[in-house]
Structure formats: C-alpha cells, structure tokens
Amino acid sequence: MLSAVSMMLVLGAALGLLLAIAGKVFYVEIDTRVEQITNMLPGYNCGACGYPGCAGLADALVSGEAKSPTQCKPSTEAHRSRITAFMETGVDPQAPKESVQA
C-alpha cells in the first residue's frame, strides 16, 4: 500500500515537472494587437465580414489576410479610421495619453 502511494506521488511529480518544462519550451507569445483591434470593432460578431466574428476579422487584419477594416459592415467610419490609424502607427488614437508608450 505504501509503495503504491509513493509510486503515484513520484509519477505525479515527474509528470508535473514534464508539463512545466513543456509549458516553457512550447510557449507561444500572443500578439496583443489582435485583442486591441477586437476591442475597437463594434462587437456584434455577426460574420458579415466573412470571418467568424470580430476576433476573426481582427486576426485577419493583423496577419494581413484582410486588407481593410471596411470589411466590417456594421462598423462606423469612426471605427474604421481608428483601426486604420492603429494599424499604421501601432498606437490607439483614442488611448489616454498616460498609457501611450514612447
């Protein structure tokens, strides 16, 4: 009985260590621009742009697959110009001045 418990503890520790190492080795850095552009879109997730919701369009815009934010049908000109300015400069034009990094 004691040997089974100790074997399970050792096995659990070894697998936990393996998962921790795999988490560091295979870490994928997420592009924060996708989330920022998603927040700039109207958020209807209607799919009228041809992508699966606003996050899909934002991902396509960042990757260059989608060429223009005008593909978002329900967005206003303010949304589109804000996204275009962000994509050109990397800075949200409506962000508070304190959060803009120099």
Give domain status of residue 101, yes or no.
no
Same domain for 40 and 9, yes or no, is no
Which one of 10-14, 30-34, 82-86, 93-97 scores highest in mean pLDDT? 10-14
Total of domains in the chain: 2
- Kindly report, residue by residue over 66-92, the tens digit of the pLDDT: 989 999 999 999 999 999 999 999 888
Tokens standing for residue 77: 């000109």
Task: Give the residue numbers spanning the domain of 11.
Answer: 1-30
Name 14's Cβ contacts closer than 8 Å, sequence gap at least 6. Answer: none
pLDDT tens figures, 27-58:
999 889 999 999 999 999 999 999 999 999 99
Q: What is the reported pLDDT for 102? A: 47
Q: Are residues 1 and 38 in the same domain?
A: no
Does 86 lie in the same domain as 39? Answer: yes
Distance (Å, rounded) from C-alpha 39 to C-alpha 23?
28
78 and 43 assigned to the same domain: yes
Do residues 56 and 35 lie in contact, with contact meaning Cβ atoms separated by under 8 Å? no
Q: 41 with 75, same domain?
A: yes
